[in-house]
Amino acid sequence: MTSQLTLGPVLYNWAPERWRDFYFQVADEMPVDTVFLGEVVCSKRAPLFDPFFESVVTRLENAGKKLVFSTLAEVVSGIDRRLIERVAASEEYFIEANDVSALSCLEGRPHAIGPYMNVYNEDSLTFFAENGARSICLPPELPKSGIAALGKKAHELGLVLEIQVYGRIPLALSARCYHARAHDRTKDSCQFVCDRDPDGMAVHTLEGRAFLTINGIQTMSYTCLNLAGELDELSASGISQFRISPQSTGTLSVTETFLDVLNKKVSAAEATATLQECGIGVPFSNGFYHQQAGFEWHA
């Protein structure tokens, strides 16, 4: 199967105009085949982008991009549940389920499974395939041995496998909003304070070392995942779609660089040097893939 680049949903709370302009650039300039749209982290953010959603969808479709609408990754309220139902009601579009609660809305209907679902073994793949899944984005913490095992089973099931290859790594979700609490606010009266940090808010140890990132209710890695050097191995393991997670700067250059690696125009070392210059200025990591601590980097 031909390898493709995909662009995951924006996970951060960007200003609506910035969000719109980013996707306009995706439509006009970015070499990705599939674009995921939708609020994954916090249902309170979703209405902020509604005024621009239709124009963004139109611009992306006119550019020939395949669109997939992503659902929330955590449901703790009726508002969250209704947002998932609203997204799943878009029958003309492929839907990516990021929470089990979305499956009841999608049962028997072709859909995608996102990286927030626990797909760690062959039985999970079989269950989701029988429920209508056609593609699955594996969790980013899987080691290469696990990916290879799932790739073999996915081939038997006719499933497309995807994995994140760049961007901060999603680690956990909470019912509480860390961003609000850090600014002495409650979740209900947060005043969208997470918009101050377009790539999340760094969390430091008592010794002053940055080790995690907070994005609203979401905990992410401080490091930036970079699997440019593992693309060939991932392809051999059955991965055919490689997901770029958008960051506030450099995402266009990142997609161009990964495409060059896929097309054998540059080496992984050359790509990493380029990515260091166009990225968000944090260390790279690929430890999970090599069955080590996630923040580690194996050149």
User: Which residues neighbour 127 within 8 Å (Cβ) at sequence distance 6 or greater?
Assistant: none
Q: Are 203 and 210 in contact (CB under 8 A)?
A: yes
> Per-residue pLDDT for 244 more than 70?
yes
> Per-residue pLDDT for 1 more than 80?
no
Q: Which of 82-96, 160-174, 247-261 has the lowest mean pLDDT?
A: 82-96
pLDDT band per the 50, 70, 90 thresholds, residue 91: confident
pLDDT band per the 50, 70, 90 thresholds, residue 89: confident
Taking only the tens place, the pLDDT of each residue in 232-241 is: 999 999 999 9
Domain ranges, ordered by start, for the chain: 4-169+224-285
Q: Are 142 and 225 in contact (CB under 8 A)?
A: no
Cβ count within 10 A of residue 52: 17
Cα gap 211→16, rounded to integer Å = 29
Q: Which CATH number fits domain 4-169+224-285: 3.10.20.10, 3.20.20.70, 3.30.70.20, 3.40.710.10?
A: 3.20.20.70
Cβ count within 10 A of residue 38: 24
pLDDT band per the 50, 70, 90 thresholds, residue 188: confident
Cα gap 58→53, rounded to integer Å = 9
Tokens 């506030």 correspond to what residue? 248
Taking only the tens place, the pLDDT of each residue in 144-170 is: 999 999 999 999 999 999 999 999 999
Q: What is the pLDDT of residue 279?
A: 84
User: Which residues neighbour 62 within 8 Å (Cβ) at sequence distance 6 or greater?
Assistant: 27
Strands 34-37 and 4-7: parallel
**Tokens at 230, concatenated:** 């593992």
Chain center to CA of 257? 18
Question: Rounded to two decimals, what is the model's pTM?
Answer: 0.94
DSSP-derived secondary structure for 229-279: GGHHHHHHTTEEEEEEPP-SS-HHHHHHHHHHHHTTSS-HHHHHHHHHHHS
* Mean per-residue pLDDT, 92-100: 93
Q: What is the pLDDT of residue 92?
A: 84
DSSP-derived secondary structure for 166-225: EEEEEEEE-SS-HHHHHTT--STT-TTGGGG-TT-EEEE-TTS-EEEEEETTEEEEEEEE
pLDDT band per the 50, 70, 90 thresholds, residue 18: very high
Cβ count within 10 A of residue 157: 15
Cα gap 72→80, rounded to integer Å = 7
